[in-house]
Amino acid sequence: MKVAAGKARAPQGPTFARFVRRNAWTLGTYALFLAVMGFTIAIHPDYGPYEVRSLVVGALPLAFCAVAQTCVVLGGGIDLSIGAMMAVANVLAAHYMLGRDFQTSVLIALLVLVGGTAAGGLNGVIALRTRVPDIVVTLAMSFVWGGVALLILPKPGGGAPDKFMELASGNIFTPWLPNGLILLIVIVAIIWIPVRFGRMGLALYAIGSDRTAAFRRGVRVGPTRVFSYALGGFFAACGGLALLMSTGIGSPLAGTIYTLSGVSAIVLGGVSLAGGKGGVTGPIVAAFVLTMVPADLILSGTDPNLGQVIQGCLIVLVVMAGGLAPLLRRRVARIQDEPVMSAG
Amino acid sequence: MSGTAMLLETRGLSKNYGAVVALRSGDLSVQAGEIHALMGANGAGKSTLVKVLTGDVAPNAGVILMEGREVRFNSPASAREGGLASVYQDVSLVPVLTIAQNLRLTGTSMTALRPWLEELELEDVDLTEYARDLPTPTLHLLDLAQALASLPRLLILDEVTATLPADLSERVFRVARRWRSEGRSVVLISHRMTEVKALCDRATVLRDGATVGVVDLESSGQEEIVSLMLGPEAAEVVVSEGSVSDREAASSAERRPAVEVRGLRSGLVKDVSFTLHTGEVLGIVALEGQGQADLFECLSGNRRPEAGEILVQGKSRRFRHPHDAIGAGLVLVPADRALALLRQRSVRENIALPMVNRVIRWGLINSRVEHRRVKAAIDRLEIDTRAQSRVMRLSGGNQQKVTIARWLATGFTTLLCFDPTRGIDIRTKEQIYKVLRELAAAGSPVLIFTSELPEIQLACDRALVMFGGRIVAELPAHDATEAALLRAAHGLGRSAAAAAETA
């Protein structure tokens, strides 16, 4: 933003107002999180470190999955094979980590991450080269990866050393701050921040928003698209590993449900499915909300099936509210305009 | 100028999109230090030629020479590096990024850009705003400033002025002249003959994808360009200036108020009252953003008035939805064809779409009636139906004709046209004027907003000028010269000054 500095003349007030306006949705997601958290504590008086830990461990795979989908959707694509890639990462890790020590396990995890990145990139390359719509390519790939996961591990099994699972469920500072949360923040920060504030991030948002304009501005559209899918593959592999950390075994079918939950999380987190709009913090927080809501509903004695209905309604209501906000703002702006016109 | 070196030369450029030949043989030579016009009817291949030149699309054949050396650009970015920058018809700033971020994408440095922002009077634009939050004319100028910052030897302006109000167009022309005086070159694509004549040195004319002639603008007139553009067979449809007075004599006979607008207020419309009579074409003229868009939205039911009323045939009507307005006989032809048409569907379906409310019997579409009416509308407007399976494949002028045709087929009492000839070639314009005149003669009132001032005298009986959300002047067609309209539109008339005081 160095270029902009020379032109920054706007006073503090409007700048703050503009910040709120531009990040309204993300702030709204935080507020929703706080509200759900408050509700959880209200119906659960002895909320403590154990509950925090199970929330983090439970939400971790979905959070990574949401980040993965965000990377792809921001670039104007969609990846329906993220859940299946998570499953492959999960069973690969569980298969090879069984009985190994911690160091070897970490090495295996790194290899899985490289593999995930390659698999994601492959989706991008196929969509780019064949010109088949990405929704079709990734849907097809979701069957491929789903099958591969079953070939590697036909039924739930495998495992990981306890120390590896500690990466999510343990804690090094205080029981209130599980390692999983630190892991999530560190990994996302290391990968996402340089992307977001670098040229690559600009290119990503640009191709998601207006591909022709991006091309004319000198963005290399093809490589950027492949990059967004590769990034998605990387975070999908993270999600698969997180799944292993939370359950302790590999499961070839566990990952597949995450594709759609991930899409729910990014929608709730303010990422536009049309591309180009949103960030990663919103979807992460939304992933926590989506993990808390069903648990709360069960805890408050609601029929789990009704819980599904409520969760679905929540998504629609939140997205609707998000669409309402700009409309109201315009109306307010119009009312504010009136006296100015008559005074001038 | 014969001794000057050719800065750019193209030979036999061609480009096909599948079976459609967009460009057959594009030859263009631009000297150093000239403003060169590229002209042609819609679909003649101008935009395709520009896209090929700037590396937006790859040509199927042909060569591009810059200063005698063959070049091949595979993206607009590489063309920029080669000294060739273009400002496209549609804004090429990414909407979700701020202006500053957009500049970073192209690698434009702030120091290189600032003098051009000043030159174009854009110093006040906040570069930390998102592109989507700024008005389109500003974005066009920012696009231009950014193109200038790379100091191209050849600047291509592809119909930049089509969507710019007159005062902003003047800034573009100032830059173009400066570019010429510095020994660089400009290629200007424009449908506006007056600006081409005033600005350019030479013109290359394209017809049906091939270069048909190069004209020296100092020695030859616009008739030569028009006849080149239209081709030999269409020479009879040339602008007929003498028609104004005949029209007035003929049509003043019986006029009743068809639509009355009283004290209308909504958005940028502050207080507008006027009467549209049967059998007249009433023109509205205004600079960008003086409330004309909101006025048309109110009349077509896209927007609800905050105050005032709209009377149709003497009865007060409240439009809550375009359906209500169409029901009252008020139909809109918007400037943006993409808003009016289903781009993926066929010409026939597009024309028949609003008709379904009228030709349904027992819940089914009466396809025989539908077919007959569609055919009649197509014939009347002479729509080119070679590419009729998808409207998006038609040229802009033909798309606009489809928009008008669908209302012809449906039937209406009042036609609202918002800048119907924006970016349309002269031949199609003529046809559209003719249809508007015929409709008026048959009794249907027509309200037309236009950004091209000469159109008022060609097509209208009367002109209203809007400024600051109010009507500030009313001129009969024979007084509505370009100069008079421009003065009023800038708020320079007597009544305009009064309105500015009360505003």
- Residue A276 has its nearest CB partner, among B75, B77, B96, at B96
pLDDT of amino acid B481:
80
Same domain, B227 and B131: yes
Judge whether B130 lies within some domain: yes
Same domain, B229 and B249: no
Interchain contact, B77 vs A6, CB within 8 Å: no
Which residue, among A1, A100, A41, A64, has the nearest Cα to A238 in the 3D structure?
Answer: A64
Q: How many domains does chain B have?
A: 2
Same domain, B208 and B276: no
Interchain contact, B94 vs A276, CB within 8 Å: yes
- Alpha helical stretches, state H, B192-255: 193-199, 222-230, 243-251
Same domain, B163 and B279: no
Same domain, B40 and B84: yes
pLDDT of amino acid B169:
86
The mean pLDDT value for A255-269 works out to 89
Q: Minimal Cα distance from B128: which residue of A?
A: A4
Which residue, among B189, B10, B5, B9, has the nearest Cα to B86 in the 3D structure?
Answer: B189
Is a pLDDT exceeding 80 seen at residue B54?
Answer: yes
The string of pLDDT tens digits covering residues A153-177 is 999 988 899 999 888 888 888 888 9
Same domain, B409 and B454: yes
Is a pLDDT exceeding 80 seen at residue A6?
Answer: no
pLDDT of amino acid B3:
46
Interchain contact, A3 vs B103, CB within 8 Å: yes
The mean pLDDT value for A181-202 works out to 92
pTM, 2 dp: 0.74
Same domain, B227 and B300: no
Residues of A in contact with B92 (CB under 8 A): 212-213, 216-217
- Alpha helical stretches, state H, B328-362: 337-340, 347-352, 356-359
Range of the domain at B198: 6-233
**How close B204 gets to chain A, by Cα (Å)?**
25
* Residues near A289 by beta carbon (within 8 Å), at least 6 away in sequence: A29, A32, A33, A36, A268
**How close A231 gets to chain B, by Cα (Å)?**
20
Interchain contact, B110 vs A341, CB within 8 Å: no
The string of pLDDT tens digits covering residues A74-115 is 999 999 999 999 999 999 999 999 989 999 999 999 999 999
Same domain, B64 and B26: yes
Amino acid identity, position B183: G
Domain boundary among the residues B233, B266, B291 is at: B233
Interchain contact, A216 vs B88, CB within 8 Å: yes
Q: Minimal Cα distance from A4: which residue of B?
A: B100
Question: Cα angle at B209 between B204 and B212, to 5 degrees?
Answer: 40
Question: Cα angle at A148 between A145 and A151, to 5 degrees?
Answer: 155
Of the pLDDT bands very low, low, confident and very high (cuts 50, 70, 90), residue B137 is: confident
Same domain, B221 and B276: no
Interchain contact, A8 vs B128, CB within 8 Å: yes
Q: Minimal Cα distance from B92: which residue of A?
A: A213
The string of pLDDT tens digits covering residues B78-109 is 898 889 998 987 788 898 888 988 888 888 88
pLDDT of amino acid A84:
96
**Domain definitions of chain A by residue range:** 58-322
Residues of B in contact with A334 (CB under 8 A): 267
- Residue B96 has its nearest CB partner, among A7, A209, A215, at A209
Same domain, B18 and B141: yes
Interchain contact, A4 vs B98, CB within 8 Å: yes
Which domain CATH number covers B450? 3.40.50.300
Is a pLDDT exceeding 50 seen at residue B67?
Answer: yes
Residues of A in contact with B90 (CB under 8 A): 212
Tell me the C-alpha distance between B499 and B488, whole Å. Answer: 12
Same domain, B185 and B284: no
What's the farthest any 2 CA atoms get from each other in chain B? 76
| Number of A–B residue contacts, CB under 8 Å | 86
**How close B93 gets to chain A, by Cα (Å)?**
6
Task: Name the pairing type of β-strands B84-87 and B154-158.
Answer: parallel
Is a pLDDT exceeding 70 seen at residue A136?
Answer: yes
Residues of A in contact with B87 (CB under 8 A): none
Domain boundary among the residues B233, B252, B282 is at: B233
Among 3.30.70, 1.10.3470, 3.40.50, 1.20.1070, what is the CATH number of A58-322?
A: 1.10.3470
Same domain, B331 and B218: no
Residues of A in contact with B96 (CB under 8 A): 205-206, 208-210, 276-277
Judge whether B238 lies within some domain: no
**How close B192 gets to chain A, by Cα (Å)?**
26
Segment of A188-192, B126-130, B499-503 carrying the highest mean pLDDT: A188-192
Interchain contact, B128 vs A4, CB within 8 Å: yes
ipTM: 0.77
Q: Is A317 helix (H, G, I), strand (E, B) or coil?
A: helix
- Residue A216 has its nearest CB partner, among B76, B110, B130, at B76
Interface mutation target, options B54, B84, B88, B96, chain A, most CBs of A under 10 Å: B96
The mean pLDDT value for B39-58 works out to 83
